[in-house]
Chain A
């Protein structure tokens, strides 16, 4: 689980660097606008993917610690987040 947490942190840091690259690319201007936009979206997608991954790790940890009720609640949080995202993607 520690490794998973470290991986989440790595994704977060990498996303931060991608966003910084997007800022630098946008500052260069000219034909790089499209790339800057793509990097910005990729960086943001990477950032927002970290908390759900950590929530997933929490579900697994609660389950292993025999805290089924809390694992269920954490899973419910994950499902609700999914519902919110899918609702807006579909709309």
Chain B
């Protein structure tokens, strides 16, 4: 029951910070509860599917979800995530901790720069660009998928940055489409974790239910909290997570 409540808090915190649950859930399970990082990543991917199942219909109704871009970019994301999930079983745990530290640091920076991402100077609302931008975008989404598959995170910050800055999707559409991509990445990664025994069904059940509830609650809270407060509270927390994961990686 405690695990369920704690996971609900992590899900809510992830939703409020706009980073998804994995950025907080994986460190909570590893640093807080002493889970193996691969088990935490496998469970986190399952939570990602669970939260996407809840939000997807609402997104379609909102008209924000760009399913065309989602299908094209989903191909690269899916392949990247499947490869990443395989790699997670091959590389050392120390490497996974270090990579998580680097990605968390990047996530902290992304929360910091969120207001500038939406500014008119960078945001050009229009069609998704083709040519080299599309190629680079596909490669980036493949890379984001790889990291997601390895660490069990949605990588929403990476997805949105690529779609908004490189492919020039409007920010709300990029965020909604990122949600669609997260579900695909998680689905592509789960079989590898499951086959390795890194998804403990009984222990993962309260985490999944808790994260589902938490993400719904976090979504409601997000609408009421001032963006500046979210940044002031969460940037230090994510930075602390980055340092702790980095130290765990260095310490072995």
Contacts and interface: CB of A to CB of B under 8 A. Distances in A.
Given A9-B57, A44-B204, A77 B184 contact: yes
B57 A19 contact: no
Contacts of B209: 16, 19-20, 23
Interface in B55-77: 56-57, 60, 67-68, 71-72, 74-75
Chain B interface mostly = helix
A70 B190 contact: no
Contacts, number: 104
A88 B50 CA distance: 21
The interface centre, meaning the residue of A5, A37, A51, A87 with most chain B CB atoms within 10 A of its CB, is: A51
Interface in B143-196: 183-184, 187-188, 190-192, 194-195
A71 B50 CA distance: 25
B4 interface: yes
Interface of B: 1, 4, 46, 49-50, 52-54, 56-57, 60, 67-68, 71-72, 74-75, 78-79, 82, 183-184, 187-188, 190-192, 194-195, 199, 201-202, 204-206, 208-209, 212
Given A26-B205, A77-B71, 15 more contacts: A8-B53, A23-B206, A23-B209, A40-B202, A44-B201, A48-B46, A48-B187, A50-B53, A51-B53, A54-B56, A62-B71, A77-B74, A77-B184, A80-B78, A81-B188
